[in-house]
Amino acid sequence: MRAAIVLVYVVMAGWLMLAGVARIAIQLSSGQDLDALPFVGGGLGLLALVLLLPAYDDRKHRAEERRSRE
């Protein structure tokens, strides 16, 4: 299960980076000024993904400890 979750996190992080690069390329090729808001949102999304994985591990270990105590 952990491998599947890590795979999903990696795919989502890759998608965020790819979308950011594509947006930069599209905006620069059309002569528009770069809008920083999507990159801030993408960066916060990537940070949230990184912060959620340890919380998942902690929850999993707590459940295993409860089972071993019983």
Query: For the chain, which residues make up each domain, given as ranges?
Result: 2-59
Mean local confidence (pLDDT), 18-41: 82
Mean local confidence (pLDDT), 21-46: 81
CA angle 28, 30, 35 (to 5 degrees): 50
From the number of C-beta atoms within 10 Å of its C-beta (0-12, 13-18, 19+), residue 29 rates as: exposed
- pLDDT-based confidence at 23, cuts 50/70/90? confident
Question: pTM higher than 0.85, yes or no?
Answer: no
